[in-house]
Amino acid sequence: MEEKEKSLQEKLFYRKKNYFEEADEKDIEKCFQFAENYKTFLGKSKTERETCQNIVEIVKKAGFKEFHFGDKLKVGDKRYFVNRGKSVAVFKIGKNNLEKSGIKILGSHIDSPRIDLKQNPMYEDSGFCFFKTHYYGGIKKYQWTTIPLALHGTIIKKDGSFVNVSIGEDESDPIFYINDLLPHLGQEQMMSNGHKIITGEQLNLVVGGKAYKDKKVKDKIKLNILAILNEKYGILEEDFLSSELSIVPAYMPRDIGFDRAFIGAYGHDDKSCVYPSLRAVLDTQSDDTILALMVDKEEIGSEGNTGMKCKIYEDLMDEICENMKCSPRVVRSKSKCLSADVTSCFDPNFPNVYEKTNASIISCGVSINKYTGSGGKSSANDASAEFMGEIRKIFRDTDVIYQASELGKVDLGGGGTIAKFVAQLNIDTLDIGVPVISMHAPYELISKGDLYNAYKAFCNFVK
Ligand code: MN
Ligand code: MN
């Protein structure tokens, strides 16, 4: 009787699976190897420009050729398309009729929360030279003080030429720093609410402290630093006006834990979805046309001409359709998209913000979100039960370890992804991604098992 009950329960109940419990050692070895490749990619992809460059380098090696609007395309072509150096699309033209099979799309974003420099950044005060900053994306500002920081970006000079900057990544480089108050004088600060522990205007970056030897000049430290920058990059203070410079953590990705189950890194959001999507397009043989969109500006609402709201991505699909003599409208109606973006992960240290039955659990696989948004699903792409069923069947048939979740408790907050902008094009779209602990922090944590199952899921979706 007991056994019969057990089997009935096994038959009827749904239970999440933990990847490390389910997988055999051979598969876990592959999983750990995938994680090594991911860490290498992630460590040098801290800004959207660098990520874009690294993707181009990888796909060029795999035989992909650059595509420009107006180029001719044919079945079997492997191409990449760069949008203003800050977003990139990688695609393969399959032999299946586009009007019947549509395009299989993986959409992810290559920007991550960080701190940008203001356009007039430099000033000197009380023995320091600082850069003034303006943060990008939703950060807890206090987390970015007293940690090693690196400076990355591009400066367009007066004559129109440009110089790329990356300081703080090499062991021999200097790093940069944001001050915080000593606890001895921090009593009032610690009474303030989290938003105000460190304010936006206090996120000033220490960039130097050595005076230029000239009694007559005011701002001797600033002058000395400008002299260093002029010698190294040929820039003047005015050139900051046309620059995009970002401050990012100077840490490299590292394994976390005695058993190395987890990866700590800056930028898991959303490179832990970008890298598996890219690899899925490279590694999968498919008769369908497959496309990875890796876009910019998700962290500030997908705005501008490099974010997902820009028409350029629809135009790119139109270019593919016209080349294949297909109606873009018919093709879009048959196309399907996994919007690959990280999701929150249940954190046993903060159980109160999660509703555990519907939270992603670490190492229980890649997580699908039928909807995101906030409150009463406001601003969510709400995928249909039909599309959920279709994706579920693919994952079940191919032994992908996956789970379904919400970000957290219904009334507590929420967030969005690029999913709704893809869905607006009349494309079935579902949110899916790697669960992240401490999302948007300078150092985030993911499970190698979840990363690897994102890769498996994306491969089987585009196959
Ligand atoms: Mn994201
Ligand atoms: Mn984010």
Tens of pLDDT, residue by residue over 111-132, are 999 999 999 999 999 999 999 9
**Domain ranges (residues) in the chain:** 2-112+266-462, 114-249
Please name the residues in contact with 116: beta carbons below 8 A apart, sequence gap of 6 or more: 133, 134, 135, 136, 244, 245, 246, 247
Which residues hold their Cβ within 5 A of ligand 2, which is an ion?
A: 269
The mean pLDDT of 316-320, rounded to a whole number, is 98
Phi, psi for 184 (deg, rounded to 5)? -60, -30
Q: In this predicted structure, what is the pLDDT of residue 6?
A: 77
Task: Identify the residue whose tokens are 């009463």.
Answer: 376
The DSSP secondary-structure symbol of 253 reads P
Among candidates 407, 455, 449, which has minimal Cα distance to 20? 449
Whether the predicted model's global pTM rises above the 0.95 cut? yes
Question: Do 2-112+266-462 and 114-249 come out as alike in CATH topology?
Answer: no
**CB burial string 276-288: b at 16+ within 10 A, e below:** bbbbbbbebebeb
Rounded to the nearest angstrom, the distance between the alpha carbon of 417 and the centre of ligand 2 is 8
The ligand with the least distance to the CA atom of 444 is 2
Among candidates 374, 263, 208, which has minimal Cα distance to 34? 263
Rounded to the nearest angstrom, the distance between the alpha carbon of 9 and the centre of ligand 1 is 37
Give the pLDDT band of residue 92 (cuts 50, 70, 90). Answer: very high
Rounded to the nearest angstrom, the distance between the alpha carbon of 269 and the centre of ligand 2 is 6
CATH class of domain segment(s) 2-112+266-462:
alpha beta
Q: In this predicted structure, what is the pLDDT of residue 413?
A: 83
> Can you say how many angstroms the Cα of residue 361 is from the centroid of all Cα atoms in its chain?
20
Is the dihedral angle over the CA atoms 411, 417, 423, 427 positive or is it negative? negative
Q: What is the pLDDT of residues 131-179, one digit of tens each?
A: 999 999 999 999 999 999 999 999 999 999 999 999 999 999 999 999 9
CATH architecture of the domain with residue range 114-249: Roll (2.30)
Rounded to the nearest angstrom, the distance between the alpha carbon of 308 and the centre of ligand 2 is 14
Peptide bond into 270 cis (omega under 30): yes
